[in-house]
Amino acid sequence: MPKRIQPLTELQIKKAKPAPKEFKLFDGGGLFLLVTPVGGKLWHFKYRFAGKEKKLAFGAYPIITLAEARQLREEAKKFLASDVDPGEVRKSRKEELDAEQRTFERVALEWFAKNEPVWSLSHCNTVKRRLNHDIFPVFGNRPIAEIRRSDIISLLKGIEARGKVETAKRIKIYCGQIFRYALNNDWIEYNPTADLKASDILTKVEEKHHAAITDPKKVAGLLRAIDGYTGTCTVKYALQIAPLVFVRPGELQKAEWSEIDLDTAEWNIPAARMKTKQPHLVPLSRQAVGILRELYKLTGSFKYLFPSLRSNQRPMSNVAMLAAFRRMGYDKEEMTTHGFRAMARTILDEVLQIRPDFIEHQLAHAVRDPNGRAYNRTAHLAERRKMMQIWADYLDGLKAGAKVISMRRSEK
């Protein structure tokens, strides 16, 4: 007899982690959850009709809950029992959907469900919050085909009036993507946001970059201040390692010991924690390995390199390093945790004259080869490993008071 499939539980689904290859979690009766390498969790119903195996998509978890997926499975089974293909029923219903029922909210939620598997959790939460708070109350229940350009402008100006200019700009982008999705599905005849520039209707706000110290003389002072920091040990270690690896603050803050290989001097950050949704490899200099070996004595038994003071089951707060900067006398207009990236990018290029594509790749920016293909995580690894050691040695020299090289390239 075939082995009986045990029904899924919410806990199993929540704990399911992405793997290099997609895999399935079966609930029974043809229903299964497909877990993709990028972390998506998609419901599918497998069935046979007229001698052919078919598959029906129910949507993404948690937009479609376990209970809702089971209900959809039972509805599909009822059609099969009546010798009706549920896939054809779905297709027919979609084609017959009346324009009055295709509201902006309905289309937006479908657009969200299609993108949710490839977005980070924080981005999903941000988009969902803005949809529910800023857009749906204004025209969410209106047929999307009836919404005009003037409606979008009125929405954006209303958000601007609350002092949320940057939010209005993001809302305009979301609306544009939703209308484009509807246009591509032939649900509307034109995109009311086409050629609509937020800069034409909203107050211009001076763009603010992450504060960063890029002058080598000031960098030397910052590095000495970090070495002399008398606050929490884990925060001090985080401050010491940050300039050596120049990853994004969240990537450092949530670093796990399982990602670190001190013997090979490598830090492998999984795709799920990267902004680019691509795995990233950080070669570790001798100095970085030395700091991490000391840190391991303190936190090596925990999951995170930099655990929270309140619970070692959670990572360090995202404001811990910012607070340390303030304690050392650096205000928010002078230096931020993100500033280590600008520091490395500027000095590696203008002082150490490292090839820009090596720098960009180590920053995990979108770098492509001459054929337009994205470089993989190990591209130029030997060169990047050398670059990271040159960078660490240079920082050591600054701290020791070495002669500072001019920021300006020498003329050839």
Catalytic residue annotation? 248, 275, 338, 341, 365, 375
Looking up tokens 């399982």 gives 258
Edge-to-edge strand list for the sheet holding 41-49: 23-28, 31-35, 41-49, 52-60
Among 283, 280, 408, 289, residue whose Cα is nearest residue 349:
408
Residue type, 37: P
Can you name the residues that pair with 53 across neighbouring β-strands?
A: 48
E-strand spans in 52-179? 52-60
Alpha-carbon distance 264 to 187, whole Å? 54
Number of helical (H) and strand (E) elements in the chain, helices listed first: 17, 7
Instruction: Label residue 298 exposed, middle or buried (CB < 10 Å: 0-12, 13-18, 19+).
Output: middle
Among 134, 124, 36, 50, residue whose Cα is nearest residue 87:
50
Tokens representing residue 246 in the block: 């120049």
SS3 label, residue 235: helix
Query: What is the H or E stretch that residue 45 is in?
Result: strand 41-49
